[in-house]
Structure 1
């Protein structure tokens, strides 16, 4: 047993330098990408497929979290001083958890839907309706809320008017919180992750060993698999590993047991917190998979942007076209 005075000093200033720029980047990209993706889905509301209802809920979970980021930016820019009150601190952290576990839940639903479409196209897919997918979405929201609700009963703030707003809890309750967090990791992350792995394992067997030659389904499955690998390897796996390791190092520190890796784990935990919020900027990639019209709309938007810039450059150089065609006028008004 080592004395606390010889414990390595934890670099608490790291989060103040690292998290705000990440939050600013995620806020801008996430809001634009999710806003545009949701607009495209809602534009074709009557033609909305079962899988797109899950994608729509994924986008709503992202928007919910993105709207809390400006308050967290202020918090970290001020050197971890929370000025918005205890209740709003809990709401902000609750929105993060809803986004995180809601995203994992809806990605699981999308994967199961893709699995059923490929492995059991006749037996199951014909019986699934949009009403079923709406009911499943409501069930996911309820399940994620029940999992996240106990987190709100742990102390989140410390200090008087300008204190801490913990993403976990105060050190007094850290042992209990670690037990709760491990259970939450098992039900909210490990079980969905195993379901997704099982779905794609079976899909791989069906597509490649049973000689099915549907190239469109193969491409769609590969695209979604790539997006899921990216999300889980960058956002979800590091966060759950280092959050629990950091809580464990805090428990050891409270017991007077020091580990030389505690500072490195703390920094890795802060990096994983930055990476996990990237899911709100990366989730819109699922829109590209779920809606065939979106890539075409993206190309059209880029073309309109290029035309606008070319007109601006012409006007700046002084050689402004005297008249515009009707198509150009219509394009400008729609843009």
Structure 2
């Protein structure tokens, strides 16, 4: 234990790391989600009821992406929030809606895939559009109820003009308790449902030979996307968020450790990684929409053709001396 480490937290790291990440996610996320949502709506009648969840997933992403320019301004101004306390809370609320809404809708998509593979006869014709809409409304409601208490914690401090993603130091003990409960209900429980579903699905896929190959491929693609999202975006964020809150509680009690700075920096990196979910979620569109996959392949082929096309200019027919003189 050493009290000097409390004074050596690398707060400047946040302002250097997060703005470029937010700008990149904003550009890629808006383009990918816009393209995916457009294709989804154009081919709505050809697609299954599960795409109600995909649509809501895209809407959650767009809602969060529209707040990123304000956060970029905030960090470029060295953590000075100029948009007011209310909009600070709205911005953080949109992030939480996106994060836990994404987890909720990915869980719904996975459960639908699970039922289609493991219990196809029982659910055939029973999962209707009405069911999907009702479940989506329920997910939005539960996510909002879990995220709403966050808005009652102080997010700004007048003498520093900060906009905290959690809360200011006086309330950090209570926020840690809330955060742990929030993590269990909004993250750990969906994660356990996903592990249970895909554990059973893998067993069924390994044993069954009569399962449709296309359905198998879609299930494995979705499993890969979920592994990517949870291992890169969700798990590091939740672990490091609570560790950083605990570190703040200890520092408030004048208990400082060598790992405090490392946890803070790692938490800021995890904040950058978790916002990548808004750019990675459109992979779910590709997983369930063969027409979109075909469009993407045609676009890549066209781009490759343009890049490989030989450059023809009039300068080739000109004498060498003219080129040199030019």
| Shared fold per TM-score greater than 0.5 | yes
SS at match of 1:79: coil
2: distance between equivalents of 1:282 and 1:107?
Answer: 12
Cα-to-partner distance string for 1:285-325 (whole Å, 9 max, x where unaligned): 11011111111111233345567778996689899xxxxxx
2: distance between equivalents of 1:175 and 1:85?
Answer: 25
Task: Decide which of 250, 253, 256 is 2:251's aligned counterpart.
Answer: 253
Cα-to-partner distance string for 1:4-42 (whole Å, 9 max, x where unaligned): 456351110000111011111111111110000000001
SS at match of 1:123: helix
1: distance between equivalents of 2:314 and 2:154?
Answer: 58
Question: Which residue in 2 is equivalent to 1:36?
Answer: 35
Are residues 1:124 and 2:123 paired?
yes
1: distance between equivalents of 2:315 and 2:117?
Answer: 56
2: distance between equivalents of 1:316 and 1:80?
Answer: 54
What TM-score do the two structures reach when normalised by structure 2? 0.92
1: distance between equivalents of 2:66 and 2:147?
Answer: 18
Cα-to-partner distance string for 1:39-75 (whole Å, 9 max, x where unaligned): 0001112333111111111111100000000000000
1:105-254 map, 5 Å: 105-159=104-158, 163-254=161-252
2: distance between equivalents of 1:197 and 1:120?
Answer: 17
Question: Which residue in 1 is equivalent to 2:58?
Answer: 59
Are residues 1:296 and 2:260 paired?
no
Maintained 8 Å contact 1:41/1:56: yes
Maintained 8 Å contact 2:154/2:167: yes
* Deviation, structure 1 residue 165: 0.3
* Deviation, structure 1 residue 195: 0.3
Instruction: Name which of structure 1's ranges 270-279 and 302-311 shifts more when overlaid on structure 2.
Output: 302-311
* Deviation, structure 1 residue 168: 0.4
Count the aligned residue pairs. 317
1: distance between equivalents of 2:315 and 2:307?
Answer: 12
SS at match of 2:50: helix
1: distance between equivalents of 2:283 and 2:11?
Answer: 34
2: distance between equivalents of 1:207 and 1:63?
Answer: 35
Distance 1:316 1:132, change over 3 A: farther
Instruction: Name which of structure 1's ranges 306-315 and 22-31 shifts more when overlaid on structure 2.
Output: 306-315
Maintained 8 Å contact 1:14/1:267: yes
Distance 1:22 1:48, change over 3 A: same
RMSD: 2.1
2: distance between equivalents of 1:281 and 1:126?
Answer: 33
2: distance between equivalents of 1:312 and 1:285?
Answer: 33
Maintained 8 Å contact 1:8/1:263: no
SS at match of 1:127: coil
SS at match of 1:99: helix
Distance 1:240 1:202, change over 3 A: same
Cα-to-partner distance string for 1:147-167 (whole Å, 9 max, x where unaligned): 10000000001125x710000
